[in-house]
């Protein structure tokens, strides 16, 4: 599959973007701590139906650092800047994992005429609180001073991938750990302060979205449980949900065939 690289200046810094495929345009935006390579298992299938715009978020992958603290609204506006730079002025489909899902919700709410459909994967709608927030705060503190040492990369892969995947797919563990390790610690910490520790509740925005929405999660995801997606799918007029069995926070890596099947069913219902 042929891919075309782009580097596009946005309000959250220089973003690395890869385009591929044919058909209606679709943005792919990955989870925090990893990068656009986490779509690699589903890209060939998606590219047969969509023109893909795979964005590495600020401080991740081959993108540059953000110049300052930024918000999900800044991320959504940056995605619009990417579309404008690529000459895409019509509505797009959005597929986002965690951070990418959060950004997609804000994008669909703020720019309803530019979003044809929205799929979020493992994207909790409430701000990080309590023990989870304390754990991320501690993790980022250690990471800032120690860098991506083995202990921290192991913590990240354990949080993002199911135990079964970690046991049977060392290649996916390596991909996650390498994605985390490639970032500059200071830039990653700034991004974490912006859109992980600084993420507000966005459930209210979901309720305002007019485009069809699919909320997806893995059955083993501790951050966004199957019960969560069932409950919140009821709060938006055009929302449905799906649960991918046996996977955690990055289903498109762990179970790509099931994710593609759910996406095709969703688009078919549209």
**pLDDT attached to residue 204:** 95
The pair of structure tokens assigned to 203 is: 């459930």
CA torsion angle 144 150 155 160 (round to 10): 100
**pLDDT attached to residue 42:** 98
d(CA 62, CA 41): 19
d(CA 196, CA 204): 18
Q: Hey, which bits of the chain come out as E strands?
A: 4-10, 13-21, 25-29, 51-55, 92-97, 115-121, 213-218, 239-244
CB 35, CB 180: distance < 8 Å: no
d(CA 228, CA 241): 10
What does the buried/exposed string (b/e) look like for 3-37 if buried means 16 or more CB atoms within 10 Å of the residue's CB?
A: eeeeebebbbbbbbbbbbbeebbbbbbbbbbbbbb
Residue 231 sits at φ, ψ, to 5 deg, of -65, -45
Q: Are strands 51-55 and 13-21 parallel, antiparallel or unpaired?
A: antiparallel
CB 191, CB 98: distance < 8 Å: no
User: For the chain, which residues make up each domain, given as ranges?
Assistant: 4-269
**pLDDT attached to residue 237:** 84
Asked whether the CA dihedral 87, 92, 93, 94 is positive or negative, the reply is positive
**pLDDT attached to residue 154:** 93
d(CA 199, CA 59): 17
Domain at 4-269, CATH homologous superfamily: Alpha/Beta hydrolase fold, catalytic domain (3.40.50.1820)
SS3 93: strand
d(CA 116, CA 131): 36
**pLDDT attached to residue 131:** 86
> Whose structure tokens read 């044809």?
116
- Length of the chain equals 270
Decide: residue 246, CB within 10 A, 0-12 exposed, 13-18 middle, 19+ buried.
Answer: middle
Q: Give percent helix, percent strand, percent coil of the chain, each to the nearest 5.
A: 45, 20, 35
Say what the pTM is: 0.97
Among candidate residues 245, 243, 238, 251, the one with its CA nearest the CA of residue 216: 243
Strands of 115-121's sheet, edge to edge? Answer: 4-10, 13-21, 51-55, 25-29, 92-97, 115-121, 213-218, 239-244
Using 50 as the pLDDT threshold, list the residues of the chain that sit under it.
Answer: none
**pLDDT attached to residue 132:** 87
**pLDDT attached to residue 19:** 98
d(CA 246, CA 164): 8
**pLDDT attached to residue 40:** 97
d(CA 38, CA 33): 11
């Amino acid at each position: 599959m042929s891919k075309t690289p782009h580097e596009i200046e946005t309000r959250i810094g220089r973003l690395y973007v890869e385009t591929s495929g044919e058909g209606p345009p679709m943005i792919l935006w990955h989870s925090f701590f990893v990068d656009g390579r986490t779509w690699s298992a589903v890209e060939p299938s998606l590219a047969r139906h969509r023109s893909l715009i795979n964005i590495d978020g600020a401080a991740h992958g081959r993108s540059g650092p953000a110049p300052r603290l930024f918000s999900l609204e800044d991320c959504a506006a940056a995605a619009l800047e990417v579309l404008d730079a690529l000459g895409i002025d019509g509505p797009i489909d959005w597929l986002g994992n965690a951070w990418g899902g959060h950004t997609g919700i804000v994008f669909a709410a703020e720019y309803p005429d530019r979003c044809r459909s929205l799929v979020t994967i493992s994207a909790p709608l409430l701000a990080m609180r309590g023990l989870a927030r304390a754990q991320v705060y501690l993790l980022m503190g250690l990471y800032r001073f120690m860098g991506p040492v083995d202990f921290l990369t192991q913590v990240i892969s354990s949080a993002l991938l199911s135990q079964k995947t970690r046991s049977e797919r060392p290649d996916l563990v390596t991909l996650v750990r390498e994605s985390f390790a490639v970032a500059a610690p200071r830039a990653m910490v700034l991004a974490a302060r912006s859109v992980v520790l600084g993420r507000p509740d966005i459930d209210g925005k979901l309720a305002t979205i007019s485009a069809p929405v699919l909320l997806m999660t893995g059955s083993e995801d501790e951050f966004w449980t199957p019960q969560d997606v069932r409950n919140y799918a009821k709060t938006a007029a055009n929302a449905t949900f799906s649960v991918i069995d046996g996977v955690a926070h990055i289903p498109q890596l762990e179970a790509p065939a099931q994710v593609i099947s759910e996406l095709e069913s969703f688009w078919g219902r549209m």
